[in-house]
Structure 1
Amino acid sequence: MGGAGGPLARTIRAKLTAALQPTHLEVRDDSPVTGLPPGAETHFGVLVVSESFSGLPLLQRHRLVHEALREELAGPLHALQVTARTPQQWQRDPRAPPAPPCLGGSKRDKRRGKEEEEEEEEEGRQ
C-alpha cells in the first residue's frame, strides 16, 4: 500500500485525510490483480488509522470511510476493502491485511456465460 498512485488513488487519499485526519493512511490500487487494464482504478484497499475511530464499532468506522468516499463509490470505485484502526490498535499490530482474492466477473458476465452455454446445448441438439 502507499504511493501516490493515479488520479482516483490521489482523490481517495485527499478525501480520507480531510475527513479523518489519519495518523497513518495507505491506499492500495488492487485493480491490476483483478485482470483489469493498467490505469483502470476500480478496486482499492485502504488502511486508515485515526483517532476518529476510537470508541466506534467496526461498522460505524466503515460508514465514516464510505461517507468520505460517497461520490467515488457511486461512480468509478467498484470495490473497496477497508481496514479502520485506532492508533492504539495500529501500535499493537502494524500489519495491513492482504488484498482479498477477486472472484472476477459480474452478474452480467455470468448471465452471458449461461446464455452461451444454452446456445451451445441448443446447437448440439440440432
Structure 2
Amino acid sequence: MSSSSSIHSSPNRASRIKEKLEKELEPVELVIEDVSYQHAGHAGMKGRGTDEETHFNLKIVSKGFEGMNLVKRHRLVYDLLREELDSGLHALSIVSKTPSESTR
C-alpha cells in the first residue's frame, strides 16, 4: 500500500480528502493533485482567494471499487467527500480503478 500513516490533524483540504479516502477505501494507490490555481479566474471562483483549495484531480485504486461501475465509484467518492463539497470544494476530477484494472 502506498498510503502513509493516518493524519491526526487535518490542516488543509488535501489532507482531509486523503484521510477520508484512506480510512474508507484503503487504497493501494492514492494521488491527490490540487489544481485550484488553474481555475482562479472562472465564474465559480469569483470572490475566492487564489490560495483556496477548490479544484482537485484524484486518482484512486482500491479493492473497494470491485463490482462497481464507474458511476457508482464516483458516487461513492462524492458521498465520502460530501462535507468537503459542502464547504468549498468546487470540482473533483476522478480516476477510479480496481487493482486489476490499474495493472492493464
TM-score range, shorter chain: 0.7 to 0.9
Give the equivalent residue in structure 2 for 1:106. Answer: none
1:64-79 to structure 2, matched below 5 A, reads 64-79=76-91
| Matching residue of 1:13 | 18
What are the within-5 Å matches in structure 2 for residues 33-72 of structure 1? 33-35=38-40, 37-72=49-84
User: Which has the larger share of helix?
Assistant: 1
Paired AA for residue 40 in structure 2: G
Deviation of 1:38 (Å):
4.2
Moved over 3 A (4+): none
Equivalent-residue separation in structure 1 for 2:39 and 2:102 (angstroms): 28
Q: How many residues align?
A: 87
Could you tell me the percent identity over the aligned residues? 40
Distance 2:62 2:51 in 1: 29
TM-score (norm 1): 0.65
Cα distance in 2 for residues equivalent to 1:91 and 1:33: 30
The answer to whether residue 34 in structure 2 is matched with residue 29 in structure 1 is: yes
Residue 82 (structure 1) aligned with residue 94 (structure 2): yes
Root-mean-square deviation (CA, aligned residues, Å) is 1.4
C-alpha displacement of 1:11 = 0.4
Q: Offset at 1:39?
A: 2.2
Which one has the largest radius of gyration? Answer: 1
Structure 2: gaps spanning 5 or more residues: 1-10, 42-48
> Normalised by the size of structure 2, how large is the TM-score?
0.78
